[in-house]
Structures are given as structure tokens and as C-alpha cells.
Amino acid sequence: MFESKSGIVFVAGIGFFALAFVSNAFVPALMYKNIPEKKVEELITPNLRYQFEDLARRFPESFEKAYGTPPEAPEENEKWWNEQCATALRRGHKIYVGEGCWHCHSQFVRPVSNEEQRFGPVSRSWEYQNELQRPVLFGTRRVGPDLSREGGRRSNDWHAVHFYHPLDLSEGSPMPDYPWFFDGSPDKPNERGLAIMTYVQWLGSWLESYPYYESYVPSPLVKPEAEEEAGQ
Ligand code: HEC
């Protein structure tokens, strides 16, 4: 078999296949078999809760339509927010998969090419050990930026306008419009719109030292100028 070149190539091919299987499948499976996979409910951090409640403040009517009103008793109230937030995350994840956002966006900051400088901390394997990474959404190409550190980078208002019509905020953007995330205009996100925004704000919110939230100054809710003038 080793007398011919093709014989050597054949054996090397099988060898490399076996090596790849051991290093990419077998060893990782052994390493992570004892790490429990997190449920959505375990993924809600104060960072994310802040963003979810911010949706309720910014789009009160839409929010009430999608999730109802929170109960008043403090204990029930706390539980209610977490439950609704988990519902929004699960739904947002389904929409992300269904709309094919992963065709254009990756969720993996690689340890090469100084990606850290553009997208934030390099991704770690434990970050993928949860329900919302099934199927894994690493993505295969980047038409748009990596989204694994997107949470907190932009305000909910920004996302609403951007999903409604990306070209309004980003010149020449090839990202499609998503008018079906809204009941008419960008200030009326529907249940789908609220869910995808929650999901996008979740991305990276699990990091202890979080690049955006640390320097995050929430933009205050101000009345649009035009309205103020008309009211005077
Ligand atoms: C055809 C490719 C394409 C698709 C599909 C697409 N995007 Fe984008 N996206 C882009 C490009 C390119 C940009 C950068 C320009 C811009 O901001 O519009 C972008 C920007 C973004 C940003 C802003 C990132 C930042 O902070 O600057 C977010 C968030 C985003 N996309 C989320 C999504 C979600 C969620 C979906 C699915 C509902 C989606 N995208 C679908 C191409 C795409």
C-alpha cells in the first residue's frame, strides 16, 4: 500500500479524518459532558431584565398587547417579569432562526485577526451550553457584523427603527426590512418585534465584564420635539 503515492494519501486521509473526529467531537464531548445545559430561565441577567423593562417603558401599548399587565404583589410581579422575559427570549430565538438572520450574522468572535477589537471578548465554549444555542448559531458567513456581543450596544429605539428600515440608520445596508415585526410604524413593534429585540439584547448579556453595559448610559425617554411644539 505504501508503494504508491495514492496509497500514502489514502492512509493519510483516513488518519486525518480520525484525528479530526477525536479532537473536534470526542474530546469536546468528554470535556462538556458534566456541564449542565442551561435553560432559558437561567439566562436572564439584570442586564437583560433592564432591557426588557425598557421595552415596556418605551412601547407601553405594544408591550401590554403582547404580554398583558404585570401583577402588583411584589413576589408575583418579579416572577411575572422573568416569565415574560423567558417567553420573549424563546420566541426571539425562533424568529432569528426562522428569518435566517444567521445567513448574514455570525455569533462567534474568533481568536484571530484581532476580532476582539471589533466585536468584543473572544467567544468561549461555555457560552454555547444553553437552550438558545440549539441549534448552534455560529453562522457560516458575515454579510453583517458578528452579533454575539450585540446586547446593550444599541438602544431598543435604535433596533426598532433599524428592523423597520435599516437604510434609515445605515447607509447602503443590504439588511432586509422587517415590516412584519411591527403593527404599522417603527414605534409600534408587535409581539414578534418585541421578541427579536429582547433576543438581540440578550446576546452577550451573560458576560461578567461586559463591554457595553459597563459604559452604558440609558438614553432618556424624551418627547419628540415636533410633538412638544404642537402641544404648546
Ligand atoms: C442580507 C443579510 C442580512 C440579513 C438577512 C440580516 N442582516 Fe442584520 N445586518 C446586515 C448588515 C450588512 C448589517 C450592517 C449594516 C446595518 O447596520 O444595517 C446588519 C446589522 C445588524 C444589526 C446592527 C449591528 C450593529 O450594532 O451595528 C443587528 C442588531 C442586526 N443586523 C440583526 C439582524 C437580525 C436579528 C436579523 C434577522 C431578523 C438580521 N440582522 C438579518 C445584514 C443582514
Assign 24 a pLDDT band (cuts: 50, 70, 90). confident
Residue nearest ligand 1's atom 41 by CA: 101
Give me the pLDDT at residue 197, please: 98
* Ligand 1 atom closest to 159 (CA): 29
pLDDT (tens digit per residue) in 129-177 = 999 999 989 998 999 999 999 998 899 999 999 999 999 999 999 999 9
Flag whether pLDDT at 105 surpasses 90: yes
Q: Is 170 a pocket residue for ligand 1 (Cβ < 6 Å)?
A: yes
Flag whether pLDDT at 217 surpasses 70: no
* Segment 21-31 mean pLDDT: 89
Q: Is 45 a pocket residue for ligand 1 (Cβ < 6 Å)?
A: no
Give me the pLDDT at residue 219, please: 52
Residue 193's nearest CA partner among 177, 216, 174 is: 177
Q: Is 7 a pocket residue for ligand 1 (Cβ < 6 Å)?
A: no
Q: Is 161 a pocket residue for ligand 1 (Cβ < 6 Å)?
A: no
Flag whether pLDDT at 221 surpasses 60: no
Residue 153's nearest CA partner among 188, 82, 202, 110 is: 202
The alpha carbon torsion through 224, 49, 72, 221 (nearest 10 deg) reads -10
Q: Is 150 a pocket residue for ligand 1 (Cβ < 6 Å)?
A: yes
Q: Is 174 a pocket residue for ligand 1 (Cβ < 6 Å)?
A: yes
Give me the pLDDT at residue 225, please: 63
Query: How many CB atoms within 10 Å of residue 116?
Result: 15
Question: Measured over all CA atoms, what is the biggest interatomic distance in the chain, rounded to whole angstroms?
Answer: 93
- Ligand 1 mutation pick, 102, 105, 158, max ligand atoms within 8 A of CB: 105
Task: Compute the distance between CA of residue 12 and CA of residue 146 in angstroms, rounded to an integer.
Answer: 36
Residue recorded with cell 459597563: 214
Task: Compute the distance between CA of residue 221 and CA of residue 205 in angstroms, rounded to an integer.
Answer: 22
Cis peptide before 145 (omega within 30 of 0): no
Task: Compute the distance between CA of residue 123 and CA of residue 146 in angstroms, rounded to an integer.
Answer: 11
Ligand 1: centre distance to CA 176 (Å): 8
Q: What is the mean pLDDT of the chain?
A: 90
Cell of 54: 425598557
How many CA within 13 A on the CB side of residue 211?
Answer: 15
Residue recorded with cell 508503494: 3
Ligand 1: centre distance to CA 20 (Å): 33
AA letter at 175: M
Residue nearest ligand 1's atom 37 by CA: 101
